[in-house]
Amino acid sequence: MSVIPYIQRDISWLAFNYRVLQEAKDPSVPLLEKIKFLAIYSSNLDEFFRVRVANHRNLVRAGKKTQRDLSFSPEEVLKQVLNIVNEQQYEFSEIFEKHITPALIKEGIVIRKLKKLNQEQLEFIYKFYEDSVQPFVQPVILNGNKVKPFLNNARIYLALHLQDKETPKGDPTYALLLIPSQEVSRFIELPSRSKNQHEIIFLDEIIRYAAQFIFPGYDIMGSYSIKLTRDAELYIDDEFSGNLMAKVKKSLAKRKVGPASRLVYDRKMPKHFLAYLMKVFNISSYDLSPEGRQHNNSDFFTFPSFGKKNLKDKDLPPLPFKPLEKTKSVFDKIKQKDQFLFYPYHSYESTIRFFEDAAIDPQVTHIKIIQYRVAKKSRIMEALMLAVKNGKQVSAFIEIKARFDEEANLQWGEKLEEAGVKVNYSMPGLKVHSKLAIVRKIVEGVPEIYVYLSTGNFHEKTANLYTDFGLFTYNTKLTAESMRLFTYLETKIKPSKPFQHLGVGQFNLNVMLNDLIKNEIKNAEAGKKASIILKLNSLQDREIIKLLYKASQKGVRIKLIVRGICSLVPGVKGISDNITCISIIDRFLEHARVYIFRNDGKEKIFMSSADWMTRNLYHRIETIVPIYDTDHKSFIKRIIKIQLRDNQKSRIIDAKKTNKYSHENPDLMVRSQIETYYICKREGEK
C-alpha cells in the first residue's frame, strides 16, 4: 500500500483540543466547569504554539529538506493550523460572550465593562489601580526601530493608539502597558449594586481605564490587548555528548527569550496598528493569531466561584483502597496478592504509603524510583529523603528532558542529592518515560523485591485529575525484569538477559507489539475470531498504523479509544472497515493506556506507559506491563467495556474530524467516568 489514509498529527491534535472546547458548550456541563474547559483549551493551545507551531515555523525558514515527513509540507501544515485555530477562536469568543456570560448573569455573576460602571465602581478601580497595580504596568512609548521593548513570553500587554492633544492631526503614537496578571488577580470583584449580585471586572479593563492617567498628554484612540508566545523547544533531545544537565540549564535560560511563535491580538485592532506591531517585533503573517478582547484565557482557572457549588461538578472524593490503606503492612498484602488501583477513583494514599512505609521499615534496604513529573510538594520525595536518614540506599533516575518540568526536575534532583539520594539523570538521545518504583527488603536473610508499575507519574496533584492504573506486585516474573531495567538506567550497560515479560523501549517493545498484532492477523486468516482493543492517548506512528490497517483488511476487529492525536483514519472502505475509534473527554483526563488482544480466546491484556507515537516507540524507554491476575484482567475489561458504551462524553473519530458525539442506545445513558467511580465504590464496600 503506497499511500495510506493518514491525518497529520498537528491537525489531529487541533481536533482533540476542539473536543475540549466542546465541553464549554455542552449543556450537561455545570457553568463554572465550562469556564474551566475554556481555560484548559487555552492552556493547551499556548503550549501547542510554543512547541509544535514553533517547530513548523523553523522548518519553513530552513526549507523542506529538513522536514522528516515529506508527505506534509511545513508551509501547508502551518497554513491549515492557523486557519483551524482562527475558526476555533471565533467559536471560543461566541461561547463566552453569547452563552457563558448570559448564563453567569442569570446566576447573579455579572462581568462588567468600563462603559457599564457606575461612579462608585469607577472610583473603586482607580483606587485599586493606585494601590495594587501601578508599580507593575511598565509603560513604554514605541518609536519604530529605535524603541523595541522585549515582550515577555505569554504576558498580556495593552497596545495603545495615542494622539498628541497638542497636535491632533499629527502622526499617531503607539504605546504598551503590561497587564500584570501574574502579580494581581485577573478578576477583580467590584462594589455590587445589589446584595444578590456579584460584579467583577477583568484587570485588563482597569488598565484601560488607567491609561488616560498614565498618558495625560494624549487622547486614547484605541486600546487592544496583545500577547507574544515564544519557542519553548530546548532542541536537546538528540544530544549525545557533553554535560546534558548543563545544556538543559543553559537552554532553560534561553527559553524565556526564544523567538516568537505567535502574536495574539484583538481581531478588532486596525490594520495600520497591526502592521506597525509586526514591523516593530519582526512578526510575519504566519505568526499572527486573532482572538477576542481578552487573551491568556488560561487565567479562567482562577475565575471566582463565590461559593456556588451548584455551578460545579458534584464531588467525587477519591475512594480509600482498603486492602492497602487499612492493613498493618502494605508489603505483606502485596506479597499475598498483586494489588491493582485505578486513579483518581481510588485514593493515591496507597502509593504514598508504599514509600512512606518503606522509609521507616527496618527490613527495607533499597528504594529505587523513576521520576518523570513530580509535584512541587511531594510526600513521595520527602519519604525518599527520610529513607536516606534511616540508612536505606535510595536511587532515583530523573528525566530532566520532561518538557516544561525540566527546571522542577533539576531542582528535585539537587535536593535529593543533597539529602544523600543517588541520582542518575537523563540518557542522551532518549527520554525515560517508564513509571517504575522498587523496594527491596531483607527478611530473615532472604531478599524480597516489591515493585510498583503504573501508567502515570509519581505526582500527587495529577493523581487527582488523571485516570491511571497502578500495579503493586511481588510476582518474580515482573520484579526481576524491573530490577534489570533499573540497573540498565543506572549503569547504561545493556542487560545480558532479554526481557520476556515486560515490554521495554529500545529492547523488545516494538517486536512485542508487532508480534501481538501479527498473531491476531494469523488467527483471522485461520478463520478464528480475532480482535484488538486499544486505549491510548495518541496514535501517530505510520508503521504501526499500516499494520493495524493490514489487520483490519484481514478481518481483525479493532476498537480504539484515543483521547488525543489519532492519525489513523477509521472506517475507510477496503482499508480500515473493521476499525472504529472514539475519544472520551470528561471531568478527568483520560491517561491510562491499555492493550487487549483476543489471542484465540486466551486474552492478553497489558497496561503501559507508552502511546503509539514514533517518539514513544523509537526514542523513549517505555514499559508494557502484562496483567496476569484474573481479577485484574476482569476489572480492566469491565472498565473498557463501559468506555466503549459511553454515549454522553464519547466522540466519534473519523476522517471528517467533526467530533460528533456518540449517542448509541440513547435509552440507557452511560457516562463512563461516573459509572467507573461507582463501580470502584461498590467494589470497595464488599
Catalytic residue annotation: 433
Alpha-carbon distance 130 to 143, whole Å?
A: 27
Q: Give the position of cell 483606587.
A: 127
Residue 62, helix vs strand vs coil: helix
* DSSP β-bridge partners for residue 431: 620
Contact 256/50 with Cβ under 8 angstroms? no
Question: Which residue, 338, 336, 624, is CA-closest to 501?
Answer: 624
Helix (H) or strand (E) holding 625: strand 623-626
Alpha-carbon distance 253 to 247, whole Å?
A: 10
Q: What phi and psi, each to the nearest 5 degrees, are found at residue 569?
A: -110, 110
In whole angstroms, how far apart are CA 74 and each of 7, 13, 195, 406? Answer: 14, 16, 56, 28
Q: What phi and psi, each to the nearest 5 degrees, are found at residue 426?
A: -40, 150
Alpha-carbon distance 426 to 247, whole Å?
A: 12
Question: Which residue, 216, 209, 184, 200, is CA-closest to 114?
Answer: 209
Helix (H) or strand (E) holding 453: strand 446-454
Alpha-carbon distance 70 to 334, whole Å?
A: 50
Those residues whose C-beta lies under 8 Å from the C-beta of residue 193, and which sit 6 or more positions away, are 118, 199
- Give the three cell numbers for residue 524: 483471522
Those residues whose C-beta lies under 8 Å from the C-beta of residue 171, and which sit 6 or more positions away, are none
In whole angstroms, how far apart are CA 413 and each of 324, 395, 409, 430, 624? Answer: 29, 11, 6, 18, 26
Q: What phi and psi, each to the nearest 5 degrees, are found at residue 662?
A: -85, 120
Alpha-carbon distance 344 to 370, whole Å?
A: 21
Question: Which residue, 299, 603, 330, is CA-closest to 470?
Answer: 330
Q: Tell me the residue length of the chain.
A: 686
Neighbour-count burial for 430-443, b at 16+ CB within 10 Å, e otherwise: bbbbbbbbbbbbee
Is the peptide bond preceding residue 344 cis, with omega within 30 degrees of 0?
yes
Those residues whose C-beta lies under 8 Å from the C-beta of residue 11, and which sit 6 or more positions away, are 77, 80, 81, 84, 657
Contact 548/524 with Cβ under 8 angstroms? no
Alpha-carbon distance 550 to 530, whole Å?
A: 13
Alpha-carbon distance 383 to 397, whole Å?
A: 16
Q: DSSP string covering 198-259, please?
A: EEEEEHHHHHHHHHHHHSTTEEEEEEEEEEEEE------TT--SS-HHHHHHHHHHHHTTPP
Q: Give the position of cell 522585549.
A: 150
Q: What phi and psi, each to the nearest 5 degrees, are found at residue 564?
A: -110, -115
Contact 610/505 with Cβ under 8 angstroms? yes
H-only helix segments in 394-528 = 406-419, 476-491, 509-525
Residue 340, helix vs strand vs coil: strand
